Each structure stands twice: as C-alpha cells, then as structure tokens.
Amino acid sequence: MRSTAIIILLLSWLGMSAQTDTKAKSILEQASNKMQSFQSISADFAFTMDNTKMNIHEKNSGSLLMKGKKYLVKLPEMGMQVICDGQTVWNFMKEANQVTISDAGDEGQGVIDPATIFNVYQEGYLFRFIEDKQVNGKMISFIEMTPEDKNKEFTKLVVGIEKQSLLVNSLVTHGKDGNQYGIYVSVFKSNPSVADSEFFFDKVKHPGVEVVDFR
C-alpha cells in the first residue's frame, strides 16, 4: 500500500461547482501556472505515513526528477524506485529484485500520479481555503481538496502552497483506511538539465531481476 501511496506522490486538474472556494481556486490556478512554466524540475522530499489508531508513524526521504510527463521517484530507505517515460511505469523493489510494469495512468498506480504532484489544479475536486500559516519560516497557504467521486481511495487532500514563490510545499492524502500519506518538499530546483535516459528502467543494470508485466 505504501508503494501505491507514493505514486501519490509525486494528475492534471479543474472541475468547479458552487461549493468551490474562490480564494482557494485562485491560489491553485496561480501555482499550477507557475509549475507548468518549468521544462523540468527536481525535488527532495520527506514521505510520511501515519495511522493514529494503529500507532504507526513512519518517515522516509525521497527525490523526484520530472520532465513533462516523465518522472523518476527514488525512495532509497524503502529500496524503491518508480520510473515513467510518459507511457510505461516501472516500479522497482531493490530487496526483492523485482520490477512491475504497467501503463501510465492505470488506477493501480495509486491515488495521484507523481508526475503531477506539483500541478495542483485538477478536475473533479471541490476546493476550500483553510488558513495561512508560517512553517519553517515560510508563509504557507493550506487548501483542502475534496474529490467529487466518492469512490476514490481517499477522502481529501490538503495541499500547502508557499505564498511568495507559489510552489507546492506539502501534500497530505487522507485515506479511507485511516492512513495519512504526506509529502513535504525540502529542496526544489526548476529547469535542471535532465537526459531522457533517466526515465527508463534498464534490465541490463539489474541482473536476475524478476519482471511482472501487468500490461
């Protein structure tokens, strides 16, 4: 489930209704426009999983490299990598030496495609402004996003947008199973030089890897 949730991590958006908060909509529009202006991005982040009832509190570090619809998510402490070339997704688990392959956009990848974690203005959501709050010396605007589709695996997303830079600072997913998955960005770089070869899983570099193809 954690590997599925990462693919939280790190889909593109709109869909309004009378219940949508105008202030929240404006902030998300500005943030999405800012993110879409970049050709590529890299980010370091902390990934957390919390379940109060089960007394589970986990934290792992990770990194995201993204270029258009292509992305590479690394979670070294979990021995995991998720790679997408825009069409195919490879989910590699180092300890098991196994890679699963699926088509980009498949439901089984998780609640949110990591390639669009920074594009926070989506179709099918109601938006509500929560508050402005200072976090680690930065003023962050927090916005609640509730899916109109009640069959989603989560009840809401809470996204934090840095007011000055209009960059995504955090994203917390509230799962129906009681788990809360959080992504907290610590380092962000825009337009780094990235080769397309970064977004492909090379079996030759992983001798004996077990391949499970779900396509």
Which band of pLDDT confidence, cut at 50, 70 and 90, is reported for residue 11?
very low
- Selected residue with higher pLDDT from 149 and 135: 135
Q: pLDDT band at 25, cuts 50/70/90?
A: confident
Cβ–Cβ < 8 Å for 9, 117:
yes
Contact 102, 112 (CB under 8 A): no
Stretch 14-25: mean pLDDT:
58
pLDDT band of 187, cuts 50, 70, 90: very high
Banded pLDDT at 21 (limits 50, 70, 90): confident
Q: Are 160 and 169 in contact (CB under 8 A)?
A: yes
Q: Identify residue 83 by its one-letter amino acid code.
A: I
Point out the least confidently predicted range of 89-93, 152-156, 166-170.
Answer: 152-156
Tell me, yes or no, if the pTM score tops 0.85: no
How much is the mean pLDDT over the chain?
Answer: 83
What are the b/e assignments for 116-126, b being 16+ CB within 10 Å?
Answer: bbbbbbbeebb
> Mind listing the pLDDT tens digit for each residue in 161-178?
999 999 989 989 898 988
d(CA 170, CA 184): 4
Q: Which helix (H) or strand (E) holds 7?
A: helix 2-9
Confidence of residue 20 (pLDDT cuts 50, 70, 90): low
Q: Tokens 């309004």 map to which residue? A: 16
Q: Give residue 14's pLDDT.
A: 29
Q: Which three-class secondary structure state does DSSP give residue 36? A: helix
Q: Which domains, ranges and CATH numbers included, belong to the chain?
A: 2-213 (2.50.20.10)
Kindly tell me if the per-residue pLDDT of 213 is higher than 80: yes
| Mean pLDDT within 58-80 | 91
Residue 140 has pLDDT above 70, yes or no: yes
